[in-house]
Copies of this chain bind each other. A is one copy, B any other.
Amino acid sequence: MKPDNRPDMTVNLAGLPLRNPVMTASGTFGYGEEFAEYVDMESIGAFVTKGLSLKPRAGNPTPRIVETPGGMLNAIGLQNVGIDAFITKKVPYLRTVNTPAIANFFGNTVDEYAEMARRLDDIPEVAALEVNISCPNVKLGGIVFGTDPDCAASVVAACRAATNKPLIIKLSPNVTDVVLMARACEDAGADALSMINTLIGMAIDLNKRRPVLANVTGGFSGPAIKPVALRMVWQVAKAVKVPIIGIGGIMNAVDALEFMLAGATAVQVGTASFINPGAAQKIAEDMETWLIENGVADIKSLIGALES
């Protein structure tokens, strides 16, 4: 315990010190500002922006979201303001909060990824980069970067060459062997891995005889996917040396702590912020309470502390 008897909640994420392990997940927390009314930004460890691209993206037709048992599907289509508007319109807010902002981004080609990494590297308000590799490679016939180890490695290597900031690679769960993907990213220069991105799912409207989502399939998130996420974090944590950010269905402090036991150094709260905009802050607070009640002096002692 620290002198004031409060547990040490800090973690270090590939050189980025965090006041606590709770971050918000990309695409579920806007550009931060949207939640200023609900979350004291300085109560959470870091926040991650909506996925950014070189050009602004308008996203998919509607409907874009649908609820499923214990989860939701989204097919937003990576709508975002683009890197230029990000710099002019969103970065000023980042300057006002004393919490690391992590820029999530994607591209359609390896070059676009590298270019985005370069552009973001130039922004002092961006503390780290998170690369969304769950996007189709337009040069390779649409194969998703994050489902092929070589494709993924080339993205990672190109981004690595373009930035000195901590480089987080966000893994797709839609693969046969997530450990293989994790190793490929680690070997190519990733400083940390965040996992998992959404599963791919689909919902049908029986009466209309149509897919609910205009895009037919969508990204599957929420409590329903937690067992898959937890399994993947546990598998990868045993296989890599870089820190892992656990993501997937985290709704409360217990969920978050389970991810840490499985091997995560930090966690991201996604869908939960839709249901309770203050979720991330509440989770960080409740984690601290749990530590106090269970006599744990340092949250780092829980990382990978699963017995078996």
| Contact call A231/B201, Cβ cutoff below 8 A | yes
Cβ A307 vs Cβ B210 within 8 A = yes
Let me know if A145 is at the binding interface, CB within 8 A.
no
Q: Please report the C-alpha to C-alpha distance between residue A176 and residue B152 in the assembled complex, in whole angstroms.
A: 14
User: How extensive is the interface on chain A, given as a class?
Assistant: 35 or more
Docked CA distance A110–B234 (Å): 30
A74, B288: Cα distance in complex, Å:
32
1/0 per residue, CB under 8 A from B, across A214-240: the answer is 001100101111111011001000000
What copy number does this chain have within its complex?
2
Question: Cα distance A261–B217 when bound, in Å?
Answer: 15
Contact between chains at A231 and B176 (CB < 8 Å): no
Contacts of A9 in B (CB 8 A): none
User: Which chain B residues border A306 with CB–CB below 8 Å?
Assistant: 204, 209-211
Instruction: Say yes or no: B202 contacts A262, CB within 8 Å.
Output: yes
Interface centre among A209, A216, A227 (most CB of B within 10 A): A227
Chain B nearest Cβ from A127, distance in angstroms: 29
* Residues in B whose Cβ lies below 8 Å from that of A209: 261, 305-307
A206 contacts B by Cβ under 8 Å: yes
User: Does chain B have a CB within 8 A of A1?
Assistant: no
Nearest first, the 4 A-B pairs at minimum CB distance are A201-B227, A70-B70, A69-B223, A224-B224
